[in-house]
Homo-oligomer: A and B are copies of this chain.
């Protein structure tokens, strides 16, 4: 997508042909700078410290992380250790494991001398595929937004509420939840996005708002507390969010607070859509969500926040009393019955086991675990 009028992806191969560059998302929206990753360790740290974040982008970065590891040592042991190191960086997003396994599977059968090239090919393929996937999600989602436009609640705009950032910065390009929004805008529909700021890390206020600004899409930043009120007042036509992991039964693990918005949507008859590539579905969890580890992050993310001072410097401030303890759960789970539909690269389906099975029949048989 565009940054100051120039087309970017969120991750790309540097001009040296082997090191990897990503947009440093911890410095947005106040600074737009790229970070260069030259080793497994740098790739793993970029994921852990959220220089890159968003389930699909984490997967793409991990894939390149394996390439960098193989440059250092192409042996089986190195590959296994690197995979473990990368998967351990973030516990919740399932794309991370998916992408790592895909590269592993591609290179493991090869002699060591051919592994590096094959890994780079596979990583590039994961990235290109992510872009095509998101474009397809955009096209399918657009049909929904067109329906909503026919029955819009405000005369002059279609109001979409989103939580966190499931835009192009969360993916390689286009985004998942925001792909239909970008497409709708490009087709001339006057979309307006309510952007949840998404505490504690404020990915909404920092990333989603920045993305939408760059693309010229009308939006309004709100605190995470406000969405219910907006829905009560008929100011939301639909909610559209991403997901970090979706179970085979359709339960959605996404950024903390998603569940609260889904409850408000149901209470006010506002459709609640989750956009996802098939790679975020965890087919191993057939029933229940106890198998999903909810990441708990540093409480400093809750007790403080960074922003731009009047002097134009980015500084971190402490919010409450220093002696007050805090907790920082990063994700919550929205049960499938609160979700209206999934928007996938293969089309739209009801949120639930049957819906997913109809779109991904090749996986449906895998669901033999807790579901029986």
Q: Which residue of A309, A327, A328 has the most chain B CB atoms within 10 A of its CB atom?
A: A327
A224 in the interface, Cβ–Cβ < 8 Å?
yes
**Contact across chains for A320 and B229 when beta carbons are under 8 A apart:** no
| C-alpha gap A226/B257 in the complex (Å) | 6
Contact indicator B320/A205 (Cβ below 8 Å): yes
Q: Of A98-106, A134-142, A215-223, A359-367, which stretch is located at the interface?
A: A215-223
Pick from B202, B226, B294: contact of A256, CB below 8 A. B226
Nearest opposing residue in chain B for A306, CB measure: B317
Q: Judge whether A7 is part of the interface by a CB distance below 8 angstroms.
A: no
Chain B residues closer than 8 Å to A317, beta-carbon distance: 305-309, 315, 317
A307 to B, closest residue via Cβ: B317
Q: Mark A235-261, 1 if CB is under 8 A from B, else 0.
A: 000000000000000000001110111
Q: Would you list the 8 A-B pairs with minimal beta carbon distance, nearest first?
A: A225-B257, A307-B317, A205-B320, A229-B332, A199-B223, A263-B263, A209-B324, A29-B321
Decide: A320 and B257 in contact? CB cutoff 8 A: no
Q: Which residue of B lies closest to A196 (CB)?
A: B225
Which residue of chain B has its CB nearest to the CB of A255?
B225
B-chain residues with CB within 8 Å of residue A307 when the two chains form the complex: 304-305, 317-319
Interface status of A234 (Cβ within 8 A of chain B): no
Closest to A311 in B: B315
In angstroms, Cα B332 to Cα A227, docked, is 10
In A307-335, which residues have CB < 8 Å from any B CB?
A: 307-310, 315-321, 323-329, 331-333
Q: Mark interface residues in A251-294 (1 if CB within 8 Å of B CB, else 0).
A: 00001110111011001000000000000000000000000001
The digit string for A163-183, where 1 denotes a CB below 8 A from any CB of B, is 000000000000000000000
Q: Which residues of B contact A29 (CB under 8 A)?
A: 320-321
Q: CB of A118 within 8 A of chain B?
A: no
When C-beta atoms are compared, the residue in chain B nearest to A299 turns out to be B221
Give chain A's interface residue range (CB within 8 Å of chain B): 35 or more
* A263 lies within 8 A of B228 (CB): yes
Q: Is A81 an interface position by the 8 A CB rule?
A: no
A318 touches B308 (CB 8 A): yes
Whether the pair A224, B225 counts as a contact (CB closer than 8 A) is yes
In the complex, how many angstroms separate the beta carbon of A18 from the nearest chain B beta carbon?
Answer: 34
> Could you tell me if A206 and B325 are in contact, using CB atoms closer than 8 angstroms?
no
Tell yes or no: A344 within 8 A of B by CB.
no
A143: Cβ under 8 A from any B Cβ: no
Given A209-B320, A259-B229, A320-B29, A305 and B302 contact (CB-CB distance below 8 Å): no
Interface pair B324/A315, CB less than 8 Å apart: no
0/1 string, A185-226, CB within 8 A of B gives 1: 000000000010111101001100110110000011111111
Q: Which residues of B contact A202 (CB under 8 A)?
A: 319-320
Given the known A-B contacts A223-B199, A259-B228, are A324 and B264 also in contact in the complex, defined by CB atoms under 8 Å?
no
Sample 16 A-B pairs with CB under 8 A, ordered by A number: A205-B303, A209-B320, A209-B321, A210-B324, A212-B324, A221-B326, A224-B257, A226-B332, A232-B332, A260-B260, A260-B264, A306-B317, A307-B318, A309-B309, A309-B316, A317-B317
**Could you tell me if B206 and A224 are in contact, using CB atoms closer than 8 angstroms?**
no
- B residues near A319, Cβ cutoff 8 Å: 197, 202, 205-206, 305, 307
Which residues of B sit under 8 angstroms from A315, Cβ to Cβ?
A: 309-310, 315, 317
